[in-house]
């Protein structure tokens, strides 16, 4: 089903470590409104969509969200690269280090691990698509807040790309919603 290109969807150009930003950005990997939650939600929701267009859209966006997980993970790894154990501890990442070493782990900015409870899936397509549009808006807002927390042009560039993809996803879910409404309002002949 997937063809994996061994490159990031958008290049990450981070030159310096920034442990504080890594601690914040990780929320877009394992937080409740992060990319992993979105990917798992969308890839689960596609099965109960009544139209091929809506199913295909959820598959496409869910797959793209996995690419965003890869981008966020790369950013966190680069921001923590060369950090000493003392620096990690001073930044409040001592318990992260004890449990995971220097591995990138799905959690939010407070260190709460990702859980499948963050996945949203219902059989009502209208509810699902409205929820997905709200999820994209929450992710967009989170990216805006993250952008406000840094002056690093490499970090800002990647975060702006991800924020704009959330806007596109929101628009595409709106198109899918109209498609599902049209399908539901069409007379069915048996």
Q: For residue 19, what are the CA distances in angstroms to 9, 79, 131?
A: 24, 6, 33
State the pLDDT at residue 3. Answer: 80
Q: Is 152 exposed, middle or buried (0-12, 13-18, 19+ CB in 10 A)?
A: middle
pLDDT confidence of residue 187: 80
Q: Hunting for tokens 């596109």 — which residue is that? A: 168
Domains defined along the chain, listed by start: 19-184 (1.20.1260.10)
Nearest CA-CA partner of 5 in 78, 90, 63, 84: 63
Buried b (16+ CB within 10 A) or exposed e, 44-81: bbbeebeeebbbebbbebbebbbbbbbbbbbbbebbbe
Tens of pLDDT, residue by residue over 51-98, are 999 999 999 999 999 999 999 999 999 999 999 999 999 999 999 999
Would you please indicate which residues are annotated as catalytic (active-site) residues?
A: 35, 65, 68, 136, 166, 169
pLDDT by residue, tens only, the chain of 190 residues:
668 888 999 999 999 999 999 999 999 999 999 999 999 999 999 999 999 999 999 999 999 999 999 999 999 999 999 999 999 999 999 999 999 999 999 999 999 999 999 999 999 999 999 999 999 999 999 999 999 999 999 999 999 999 999 999 999 999 999 999 999 998 877 7
3-state SS, residue 112: coil
Provide the whole-model pTM.
Answer: 0.94
């Amino acid at each position: 089903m997937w063809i994996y290109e061994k490159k990031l969807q958008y290049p990450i150009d981070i030159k310096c470590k920034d442990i504080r930003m890594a601690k914040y950005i990780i929320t877009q990997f394992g937080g409740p409104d992060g990319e992993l939650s979105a990917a798992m939600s969308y890839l689960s929701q596609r099965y109960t969509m009544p139209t091929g267009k809506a199913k295909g859209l959820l598959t496409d966006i869910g797959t793209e969200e996995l690419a965003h997980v890869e981008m966020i993970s790369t950013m966190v790894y680069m921001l923590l690269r060369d950090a000493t154990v003392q620096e990690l501890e001073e930044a409040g990442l001592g318990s992260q280090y004890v449990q995971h070493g220097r591995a990138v782990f799905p959690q939010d900015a407070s260190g709460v691990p990702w859980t499948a409870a963050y996945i949203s899936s219902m059989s009502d397509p209208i509810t699902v698509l409205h929820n997905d549009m709200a999820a994209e808006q929450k992710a967009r807002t989170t990216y805006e807040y993250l952008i406000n927390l840094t002056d690093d042009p490499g970090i800002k560039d990647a975060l702006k790309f991800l924020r704009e993809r959330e806007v596109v996803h929101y628009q595409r879910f709106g198109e899918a919603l109209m498609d599902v409404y049209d399908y539901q309002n069409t007379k069915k002949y048996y």
